[in-house]
């Protein structure tokens, strides 16, 4: 059946442009789109943005450092970061925010590199803090660190290639002629399209000594000199020879890191002062908080971040009797205090990304550095040969200085001076130009003889340089001397300590609390029973202490938290898993004793807060009610006791959790009742709020009880229901009284 033409089809038929556009879109193959549009973008990200090259830098790093070098910031004083950012935009068109972020990462203040290249002043944030943001570029100052002299050494001696910047107004280097293997010294992370790079940092001295050993013997054992990665945040690296050897050989693998800590016996606390490079202080605090909330970490009473100008410090307060070694072993196992650095040594070599092991990286760096030294030597050789050529021309003038003076003096036109000297002495144009430019005061035998003495020296130096160019061993010796100079001037001790597996205390496995449903019974006398469904089905009548009665009951889980409110305006927190299972015939646990309440303090109400998203309805004797958010009782640490849990302005007479709005009934001492919806009360974040008036009370009258309407005996609800508060309510009728319902029920049973 032919398809019925639509209005769109008619529009396309009448508009040839629409038809042409539609045809163009339909005819384009997806493979063509990928090849023409996507692949150039992907290659640009890989080659020009995300993957570091053999000098250890990405293009953004290189552009920034070279700009600072040209600004004279290697030897001069600091300048405003905003000035540096503005100048760098001549090479980097990605905007000031991206450039400043690059500067922050390279800075000494941020502490992301073992050998920072930017000497910073001001707030540059910290690599170990997720939330500590750096100051704006107009407030901070920077210059190049002294080690940058090794990055730009002989950069003007043709050691590296230069290319046009993005608008062809100036030149920039394609690589920086680093005199040490910076690619292994500086940590580098980049995410490209379809690939990534994650290079850990190694100690500068260890890298240089390893390179020196490699120059002598390419098959040397790298692990003898390159002991393990070294990170700027310190901490400890767990020495696992097999894992390290895999990283060294393949460029892939992982290295385990963990924090460093100390125990203060006097204060009974642990101070964590160095953390793994792969995490942040906030991530550690968040994880510990989660473990404390879920009851998996009961040994900690409080944890806080006391980081200041002296450095990182996370303080953990321990409960009495806790073994700090065992606790830290547990924290290492369950938190980012122990983490792994996933290595992926992906580096651009001649524009091609390659994943290489340490030995292969050293091989590539050595070849590249030897070529840089060879180019530097060749540039120096060319200059000396040019100088020698000029001096040899000057030597011919020595044969007859008077003749040279006469030729210059007798030449009528200035442009004929150089040709006449060339003819008179048989020298070329360059030599003649040099002779012609000599000052009149220097045309004496003493000056010329001194210049001629340089010829022998130059010839010796040229012969030596030519030998260097032909001898790889001598080039390696030059590289070795440069590495020794770097070690002598810039070497620093390891920041990341090495620990061996046999030194590590293993965490003891603790059985987790079983998660099963329970029913909670709480009495007015402060007793609580936790009964499983099976036990509840098999049991008979609930047993209570003489004179005691049920306050409330609710279903929960064994792993649920429990909030216990007392008559001292305090709230105690515990977990049901910490309380024993009971039977109906038992009295249960006495909460004031179980929770170690203050002397004379009594438990009034209990509540399962769930995920702390609900609220509590609190009713006071003075007729006021407060709806408080449960999130106000949520704590980041395993605190057992909260003071100021509710207002102390009037005695508390009622307590109901509000997971969703419902109607509540309030009874007063003068036999009145008010029925209102909890939706009339807005939740307050402050725990000890006094609330709002719900019941209008006469003098010497008080509120006596708060109950859910569904749990009362009220028949004619409309008589007591109010649409706004406060309200006086209505007198209770006999049929709505609780006592009347009970007497009728008793009479039915007797009948």
Distance CA 267, CA 626 (A): 40
| DSSP-assigned beta bridge partners for residue 705 | 667
Average pLDDT, the chain: 88
Is the pLDDT at 150 greater than 90? The verdict is: yes
- At residue 340, does pLDDT exceed 90? yes
pLDDT computed for residue 473 by the predictor: 94
As a 3-state breakdown, the chain gives helix, strand, coil percent values, each rounded to 5, of 40, 20, 40
The answer, yes or no, to whether residue 23 has pLDDT greater than 50, is: no
The architecture CATH gives domain 260-336:
2-Layer Sandwich (3.30)
Q: Which residues pair with 57 in a beta bridge?
A: none
Give the residue carrying structure tokens 């319902």: 741
Element of type H or E holding 274: strand 269-274
Structure tokens of 272?
Answer: 């964590």
Confidence (pLDDT) at 11: 47
**Average pLDDT for residues 151-163, to the nearest whole number?**
93
22-27: Cβ within 8 A, 24+ apart: none
Q: Is the pLDDT of residue 611 over 90?
A: no
Q: Is residue 497 helix, strand or coil?
A: strand
Q: How confident is the model at residue 437 (pLDDT cuts 50, 70, 90)?
A: confident
Lowest mean pLDDT among 312-321, 491-500, 580-589: 580-589
CB-based contact 393:432 (threshold 8 Å) = yes
91, β-bridge pairs: none
Contact 476, 373 (CB under 8 A): no
- Find out whether 183 and 54 touch, Cβ atoms under 8 Å: yes
| Polymer length of the chain | 751
| 301-309 LR contacts (CB < 8 Å, sep 24+) | 301/637, 301/638, 301/639, 302/637, 302/639, 303/636, 303/637, 305/281, 307/126, 307/129, 307/281
Q: Which helix (H) or strand (E) holds 403?
A: helix 401-410
Percent of the chain having pLDDT more than 70? 93
Other C-beta atoms lying within 10 Å of the C-beta of residue 446: 8
The closest of 543, 589, 532, 592 to 564, measured between CA atoms, is: 592
Calculated CA dihedral for residues 482, 483, 489, 493, nearest 10 degrees: 180
- Tokens of residue 337, six digits: 């205090």
**First CA to last CA across the chain, in angstroms?**
81
pTM for the complete prediction? 0.69
Q: Which fold has domain 517-750?
A: Neuraminidase (2.120.10)
Distance CA 404, CA 420 (A): 9
Q: Is the pLDDT of residue 544 over 60?
A: yes
Among the ranges 181-185, 307-311, 397-401, which has the highest mean pLDDT value? 181-185
Which stretches within 276-337 are classed as H helix? 281-293, 324-334
> What does DSSP assign to residue 2?
P
Please give the helix or strand (H or E) that residue 344 lies within, else none.
strand 338-344
Q: Which residues contact 102 (CB under 8 A, 6 or more apart)?
A: 60, 61, 64
β-pair type (252-258, 236-238): antiparallel
The confidence score (pLDDT) of residue 298 equals 82
369 versus 536: the higher-pLDDT residue is 369
Which among 400, 100, 132, 428 is positioned nearest to 419, based on CA atoms? 428
Looking at the predicted structure, is the pLDDT value of residue 716 above 90?
Answer: no
Confidence label for 741 from pLDDT (cuts 50, 70 and 90): very low
Pick the CATH number of 51-178 from 1.10.1740.10, 3.30.565.10, 3.90.199.10, 3.40.50.300: 3.90.199.10
Out of 21-35, 134-148, 343-357, 479-493, which region has the weakest mean confidence (pLDDT)? 21-35
The H-or-E segment that residue 745 falls in is helix 738-750
Asked if 313 and 274 touch (Cβ cutoff 8 Å), the reply is no
Cα distance between residue 418 and residue 436, in whole Å? 7
Q: Which candidate in 38, 66, 69, 139 is catalytic?
A: 139
- Cα angle 377, 380, 386 (rounded to 5 degrees) comes to 140
What distance in Å separates the CA atoms of residue 420 and residue 426, rounded to the nearest whole number?
10
Does residue 139 have an active-site annotation? yes
Q: What pLDDT, in 10s, does the model give residues 651-684? A: 999 889 999 999 999 999 999 999 999 999 999 9
Listed residue (685, 663, 689, 665) closest to 738, CA to CA: 665
The mean per-residue pLDDT over the stretch 87-106 comes to 93
d(CA 358, CA 607): 60
CA separation, residue 577 to residues 288, 561, 574 (Å): 20, 9, 9
CB 275: neighbour CB atoms within 10 A?
Answer: 27
Q: What value, to the nearest 5°, has the Cα angle with vertex 126 and ends 125 and 130?
A: 95
Segment 565-608, tens digit of pLDDT: 999 999 998 888 888 888 888 888 999 998 888 899 999 999 99
State the pLDDT at residue 25.
Answer: 53
- 557: helix, coil or strand? strand
pLDDT value for 510: 58
Q: Note the pLDDT of residue 42.
A: 77
The first and second tokens of residue 361, run together, are: 């990286």
- Domain ranges across the chain: 7-41, 51-178, 260-336, 517-750
CA 363 to chain centre: 33
Averaged pLDDT for residues 375-400:
88
pLDDT of residue 739: 56
CA–CA dist 688, 650 (Å, integer): 11
Q: What kind and span of H or E run contains 703?
A: strand 703-708
């Amino acid at each position: 059946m032919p398809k019925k033409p639509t209005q769109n089809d008619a529009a396309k038929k009448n508009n040839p442009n629409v038809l042409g556009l539609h045809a163009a879109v339909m005819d384009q193959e997806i493979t063509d789109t990928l090849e023409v549009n996507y692949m150039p973008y992907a290659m640009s990200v890989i080659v020009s943005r995300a993957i570091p090259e053999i000098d250890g830098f990405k293009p953004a790093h290189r552009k920034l450092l070279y700009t600072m070098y040209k600004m004279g910031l290697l030897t001069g004083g600091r300048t405003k970061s905003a000035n540096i950012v503005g100048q760098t935009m001549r090479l980097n068109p990605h905007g000031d925010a991206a450039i400043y972020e690059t500067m922050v990462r390279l800075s000494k203040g941020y502490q992301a590199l073992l050998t920072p290249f930017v000497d910073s002043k001001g707030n540059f944030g910290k690599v170990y803090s997720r939330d500590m943001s750096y100051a704006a570029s107009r407030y901070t100052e920077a210059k190049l660190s002294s080690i940058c002299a090794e990055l730009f050494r002989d950069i003007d001696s043709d050691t590296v290639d230069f290319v046009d910047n993005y608008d062809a107004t100036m030149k920039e280097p394609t690589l920086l002629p680093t005199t040490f293997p910076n690619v292994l010294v500086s940590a580098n992370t980049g995410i490209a399209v379809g690939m990534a790079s994650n290079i850990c940092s190694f100690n500068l001295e260890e890298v240089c000594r390893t390179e020196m050993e490699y120059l002598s013997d390419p098959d040397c054992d790298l692990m003898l000199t390159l002991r393990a990665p070294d990170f700027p945040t310190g901490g400890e690296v767990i020495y696992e020879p097999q894992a390290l050897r895999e990283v060294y050989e393949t460029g892939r693998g992982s290295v385990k890191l963990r924090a460093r800590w100390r125990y203060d016996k006097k204060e009974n606390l642990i101070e964590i002062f160095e953390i793994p490079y792969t995490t942040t202080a906030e991530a550690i605090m968040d994880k510990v908080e989660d473990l404390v909330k879920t009851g998996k970490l009961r040994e900690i009473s409080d944890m806080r971040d006391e980081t200041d100008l002296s450095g990182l410090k996370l303080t953990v307060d321990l409960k009495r009797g806790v073994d700090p070694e065992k606790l830290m072993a547990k924290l290492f196992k369950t938190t980012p205090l122990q983490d792994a650095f996933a290595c992926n040594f992906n580096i651009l070599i001649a524009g091609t990304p390659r994943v290489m092991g340490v030995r292969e990286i050293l091989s590539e760096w050595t070849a590249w550095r030897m070529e840089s030294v060879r180019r530097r030597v060749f540039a120096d050789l060319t200059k000396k040969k040019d100088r020698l050529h000029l001096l040899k021309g000057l030597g011919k003038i020595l044969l007859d200085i008077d003749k040279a003076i006469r030729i210059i003096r007798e030449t009528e036109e200035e442009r004929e001076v150089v040709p006449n000297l060339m003819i008179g002495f048989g020298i070329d144009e360059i030599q003649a130009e040099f002779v012609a430019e000599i000052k009149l005061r220097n045309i004496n035998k003493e000056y010329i003889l001194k210049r001629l003495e340089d010829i022998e020296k130059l010839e010796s130096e040229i012969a030596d340089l030519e030998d260097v160019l032909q001898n790889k061993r001598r080039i390696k010796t030059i590289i070795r001397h440069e590495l020794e100079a770097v070690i002598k001037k810039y070497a620093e001790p390891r920041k990341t300590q090495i620990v061996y597996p046999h030194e590590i205390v293993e965490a003891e496995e603790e059985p987790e609390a079983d998660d099963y449903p329970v029913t909670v019974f709480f009495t007015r006398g402060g007793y609580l029973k936790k009964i499983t469904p099976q036990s509840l089905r098999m049991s008979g009548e609930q047993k209570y202490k003489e004179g005691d009665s049920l306050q409330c009951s609710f279903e929960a889980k064994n792993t649920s938290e429990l909030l216990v409110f007392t008559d001292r305006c305090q709230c105690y927190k515990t977990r049901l898993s910490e309380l024993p299972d009971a039977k109906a015939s038992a009295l249960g646990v006495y909460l004031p004793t179980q929770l170690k309440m203050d002397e004379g303090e009594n438990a009034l109400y209990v509540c399962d807060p769930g995920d702390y998203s609900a609220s509590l309805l609190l009713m006071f004797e003075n007729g006021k009610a407060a709806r408080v958010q449960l999130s106000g009782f949520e704590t980041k640490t395993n605190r057992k006791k909260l003071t100021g849990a509710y207002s102390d302005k009037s005695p508390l007479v009622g307590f109901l959790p509000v997971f969703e709005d419902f109607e509540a009934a309030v009874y007063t001492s003068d036999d009145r009742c008010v029925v209102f919806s909890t939706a009339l009360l807005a939740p307050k974040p402050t725990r000890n709020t006094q609330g709002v008036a719900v019941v209008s009370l006469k003098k010497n009258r008080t509120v006596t009880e708060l109950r859910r309407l569904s749990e009362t005996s009220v028949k004619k609800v409309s008589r007591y229901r109010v649409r706004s508060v406060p309200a006086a309510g209505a007198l209770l009728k006999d049929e709505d009284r609780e006592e009347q319902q009970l007497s009728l029920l008793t009479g039915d049973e007797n009948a």
